[in-house]
Every structure is written in C-alpha cells, then in structure tokens.
Structure 1
Amino acid sequence: MAMIDLTRGLRSHPVRPPASGIARRRSFWERIHLDPWLLGMLLLLMLAGLVVLYSASGQHLQVPIAQGVRFGVALTVMLVLAQFTPATFQRWAFPAYLAGVLMLVAVELIGDMGMGAQRWLVIPGVIRFQPSELMKLAMPMMVASYLCRRELPPRVRDLAVCGLLIGLPVVLIAKQPDLGTSLLVATAGVFVVLLAGLTWRFIAILALLATAALPLLWMNLHNYQRQRVLTFLDPNSDPLGSGWNIIQSTTAIGSGGLLGKGWLQGTQSQLEFLPERHTDFIVAVLGEEFGLVGMLAFLMLYLVIVMRGIVMAGGAQNTFGRLLAGSIILTFFIYVFVNVGMVSGILPVVGVPLPLVSFGGTSSVTLMAGFGILMAIHTHRRLLPR
C-alpha cells in the first residue's frame, strides 16, 4: 500500500481509511481539484463586491445581476482549468503565447475602436473581447516554461530571451494604447524572472537601468498619459479637468471617516460627483459608505487570499508550477495595490480595476482563470518517495 511505503513505523499496523465527515469533504474537494479555503474567500469577496456595486451603480439592479452572470462564467472557467495538470499548462504555454501575440497584431491592423482606443477584436454576432487579457496568463506561462528548462538562477542570455518574450506583447498593448494592462502583463512576466532566483545585486542593476530609461518612456507616452502623471503630482493644477477624478475620489474616501456614511448613503457617489464609480473608482464608494473599517476589512480579505495563494504556490512540486503560481498570486496583489493606490492619490491613474469588485467581465474571467490554474497546480500534486 502506498501509505505504508511512504510512512515510517507503520508497517506493522493496518491502514484504515478515515471515516469522518471532514475526510469525505476533503476527498470531494480533491476530486474536483478545488481548494475550499481559497474558493470560499473568493466567493465572499464576490458577494461583498456585488453589495458595493449595487450602490456604486446608482442602485440599478441590472448592473449587479449582469456582474453575477459574469461571475458565474468566471467560476465555470476556473473549475474547468483546475481539472488540467501543470504539465498540460506547460505544453500550452507556447501556443497560448503565440496566439496572444498574433491577436495583438490583429488588433493593431483590424481592431475595433472604443473610448478612443483600439483594443478589441470582434467576431460578429459572437463576441467582442480584448486579446491583451489573454497575455496576463499566457505571458507568465511562457516565461515559466522557458526558464524551468534552464539552469537557475538564469544567466544573462536567458534573461535577454525573457526580456524579448515580455517586451514584444507589452509594446503591442501599449500602442493600443492601454498603459494599465501593458504594465500588468509586464509585471506578470517580471515576477516569474524574479522568482527564478535573481541575486539582489542583479535586481539593483536592473532597477538602475529601468530608472535611466524613464526619460525615454516619458517621450513615448501619449499626451493624455503624460497628463495623468502631471495630475498625480498636482491634482489641483486642473481641478475641473484632469484633476477632477482624483479630487472627488479622495474627497469621498476622506468624508467616510471611521465607520462611513452607511450603505447607499454616500453623497459623492449617489449624487454622481464621483466618475467611473462602478469601475475603476469603486474603492471611493467603499470608503465613503463603509469608512476606514470597511476598507480595512476588504484589504484584509485580499491579504488572506494572497497569503493562501503564496502557501499554495510554495507547495508546488516542480519549478514550472512554482514560478507560474507565484506570478499569478503576486500579479493579483499588484491589481489591488495599484487600484487602491491610484484611487487614494498615491499612484497615477492607469485604469486598473479592483479585482472581483469593479464592474467588468473580461477582467473577472481572467482573474478566475488564473485562480483555476493556481488550484490545478496545488491539487494535482503527487506524493513523492522519501
């Protein structure tokens, strides 16, 4: 019996399967390849998000209903992806990456325009989607698949290849233009490289090179992107124009105080002073209506999800799994950090939604797909001989 072979000191005793209800529940979760703790926290976050979204949408019930339907699709995608083994994702890495790059090129050539940007592909009568969302998963899969076949920590040549793998789709996404998504895609790839074991000295050198490249980046930004940075530095320079969003956002958060004004009682949001209140700036609604206590409760829930994800990533049994799982959960953390930072005025506005709270379908499906991959890596582990 496998348990006897793997356990010391039990050869003289029969191994009896536990009969408790807890054991049966654990075997059920193992059979469907889901982690009950992570799943429970994600469902709690979704439910709380729908409550906030109902208020942020001006109490229009169809908005949280539509979001709930999208959550159902996202959970289905998560469940399906959790059934595959890590080896399957490693085989998919290059085809997914190549398909993503080709679709980004198609966006550049024949993409659909919307809100001043060319970011979407349209299959008439079927779907309208952003290929850049695919790269949030295809990127770390590709970089992890490449590095796990090389000697670690990576050598300079391997780092150069990773730089090309990351840089190509990031440039294509930035040209759409979509600075927020391009930064998230780049972050997902960079996290894989960092987790591969770079020394602190090498990280410091890369940081210095990135700092030196900032003037070049500034020259290649669009005018509205430059204005966002200038507005971040001094929102009051144009209080009725580019500074309006961040001024109203910080006003809403500050007016909530310790306990908030109460659900559905926010003035900045309900009287429509706050723009994009059901998407990028939904944190301001949360802060105004639930106060500091409510915001801390949400942040604690996010922190617990991240910590659980880190534990699951640390338990992966091969290099590919550890690199990919670590990148997925750390990128999720960056989502939260950037959104809260930009809404509270400590980061420039880059259009990053609050995960599983802001209204949006594509981002929710992408996030839950990532958690499905994370659960697949965690639940498909095999007992190793001592």
Structure 2
Amino acid sequence: MNRLSAAFIAILSLSSVAIAQSQPVNELSRAVVQVTAPDGSGSGVLFERDGELMILTNRHVAEGYTKFVIGVLEDLHQPVVPTFTAILHSFSPELDAALLRVTMYMDGREVNLRELRCRRNASDFCIPEIRFASDVRTVSRGNEIAILGYPDIGDDELIYSAGHIASILYEEFGGESVPMWFRTNATISSGNSGGLAFNPATGEMLGMPTSISSDAETSTSLGRILSVEAVWRALEPDRVMTTWEEFLPPNDGLDPAMDPHYGGTELAAGFEPDLFEVEVLAGGSNRIHTLPMECTGYVASAPDFRLDWSGETTQLHLFFEAFDNSDDATMIVQGPGETWYCNDDGSGTRNGLDPAITLDNPAVGTYFIWVGSFGEGDFIDGTLRFSEVSRNDF
C-alpha cells in the first residue's frame, strides 16, 4: 500500500469517527431544553417517566417559581423555540436538583407522548431516549466528557463543548460515600445550569452542569457537574419537597427588624428642603423572587434605610441614582401593613436602569427600603432620594 492510499484510508477512518460521534450529539440535542422563569433562564433534560414528560434541572434554575416556559429545538440548526409550559414537580432541599413536569403546549394543546417519541431518522422535534449512567463510579480522572446547554452568551442556541474530567469529589450522602461532583475543563457558563453532561462515546448522561470556579489572574475556570447518581439519590420520593414555602425563608430573607445599614429619618408632608438624599451601597446576597409584584434583584437581609412618614400628601417619590450610568439597580420597599412595593427600571429615569417608586397618598407609618443590584454579586454606589416633587422636575 502506498503512502497516498494509507493517508486516504486514515482520513476516511477519522471521518467515520466524526460522523459516529455527531449522530449521538444530534439525537441528544433534542432532549436538552431551555427552562425560562420570570427572572432568567437555564437548561434542562427532557425525558419520559411513567407516562409523563419530565424535565431534570438544577434547583437554582427553578427556585421560587412554579410555572416555566420550555424551549426546544424544532430545527437542530436554529435557535430554541418556546414550545411547552411546565410546572414544578419536586426538588431536593439538600442538593441542587429539581424536577419539572410538562403540562401542555404553549397554545394549550395536550401533549401526546406517543407522537413525540423519536422514530428512526426523525426529522421533526421528538423526544429521544435518555440513558442515565448506571454506575458513575467507573468514571475516572482524564475521561472525556461533553456538555450541552443554553448558555446566556449563546443567543438561545444550543451550545456543545467538550473536555475531560479533571477530578472526582466523593461526599457523604445518606450515610454513604457518593461520587458527588465532577470537575471539568469543558466550557460551562451561566445558562448551562441544569443541562446535559454526558459520555461522548456512549451518550450516557453523567450529570448536570451546575456551577463554575474561575481564577481571574490566569483566566482559567473549572466547571462543576453534579453526578447523576447524586441527583437521583437526592430526588428519591421520601427526600424531596414540592413547595417553596417549605424551603425558602419568609420574604426571601429580608428582615425589617434588623438595623438599617444607613440609618433612617423622619419626614412629614411638606418637608423642606424638598429633596432628602443619602448615599448607599446597593446589593447583597439575598435573591429576591418570592415577594409579590414580581420583585427582583439581590439585596442584603437588613434594610438599607428606614423612613418614618407622617402627614398627608398626594405623592411621595422614592428613587435611587447610581453613580455609574451603566449600573442596574433595583428597589424594594415594605410599607405600613407589610405592603410591598418594587421597581427595577423606573420609567423616566435618566438611564432607564435606575429604580423609582411613587407612593400615591402614602400611609402614615414606617417604610423599610432595600436597594439592590439586578445582577448577582454586583454592588452599586449611588444616592437614595425622597421627594414630593416628581423626579422629572429636577
């Protein structure tokens, strides 16, 4: 055999391997969905169980919500399309895992599982069979692993990445040492959470991409994958919860009984000079998602400021202006009678990102004010202002 023939055969062999590997990826792609909640989105894995269409995802993707929009790949080469609605089924209070149940199509049609099951050479959307790894204890450092999910930077497209298992962490769970976490150098970013981590050679699901650890100095990162064994142990019927009220602290952990970070003031109707100002640092670690009126953002447990109000006026304006116009802040207020007020992007604010709340005929009493950041981990310097004059008049 001459060198040219040998090289040609080698190229054919490599092409065959590539085709063999791409086929499972295309099939599995149909099972990886985008899970959208009111304050963001993540990924999930679609599968059939006991005649129902279920979605496996991370708890933090669903946390605080009961209804979700599910996007699927109707065309493997196009962005995700919102297709189903789903509800919370159950979640683990111990590990970052949750189950959702698909209820219907977005247009209200019933879901027919028989019609959705993949048949040979299916071209339209269908549900492939997901094979969960039966024994992840055989996984070793250095094994290949692949990721499918919908990272925020992917513009609603399903993104594939691949790498190797860098380490395996065993932890005690249920009285037994369990392979809990795989670390990997495969690319994982925000939005991948709850997606599919699988063995590219067999197509078996090994776990869920869950979090990332990054080193700013070296610009390197390692992804953390919650193993499928740990997931199913955590989601056993006698270990799960079904309502967030059982799990989340009241009012998302906001505690008006704590001392405000920046003190308080007493104001009465007709106060002069009209504009009251105090500088605050907005932000915190409490994610807001269960309060009424779809409040959002990240705030501290203690209020940032307390306002004791008296007298009668038609309107009282509370607004926050960040020193940096590009910062995105939020505001949450608890008024007399535990009435909640919230705002993210105030109408008419200078940059469209500053929060503003107008209290019509404000009740006499105490108002506790939290100023937060829209993004997790962000802290924003700015000025909190109170006025009876519309902020647009300044």
Superposition TM-score, scaled by structure 1 size: 0.21
Higher RCO structure (Cα 8 Å, ≥6 apart): 1
Q: Answer 1 or 2: which has greater strand percent.
A: 2
The structure with more radius of gyration: 2
**Higher fraction of helix:** 1
